[in-house]
Amino acid sequence: MPMPEEKDLQFTRMWNETNEAKRIKFRNLMKSKLDVLHVEVNEENARAFYNGRLTVWQPERLYQTPERNEDRDRGRRGPRRR
C-alpha cells in the first residue's frame, strides 16, 4: 500500500496528466464518486476522497423502513421450501 505522500503524488500526477484522454478519464471517475456523495467536484475534494480523508455530513434519515411481517409476506412469495 502506498504511503500517504506517494498517494498524494500519484493523485497530482493523474489529475495533471499530460495525456488528455487519461486526465479526463481520471477526472470523470472522481466526478462520479463525488456525485454519489453529493459533494462539490473540485480538486481539493477529489484529492481528499482519493486519499481517504473526505468527510461527508450524512443527514438523518427522514423515514424508516417498514417492518417486515412474515405472515403477510409469505402469501406473496408462496410456500416455504423444505
What is the per-residue pLDDT for 82?
77
Tell me how far apart the alpha carbons of residues 78 and 69 are, in angstroms, rounded to a whole number.
14
pLDDT per position in the chain (82 positions), as tens?
Answer: 667 789 999 999 999 999 999 999 999 999 999 999 999 999 999 999 999 998 877 666 666 666 666 655 555 667 788 7
Tell me how far apart the alpha carbons of residues 21 and 15 are, in angstroms, rounded to a whole number.
11
pTM check: above 0.85: no
Q: What is the largest CA-CA distance in the chain?
A: 62
What is the per-residue pLDDT for 70?
61
What is the per-residue pLDDT for 31?
97
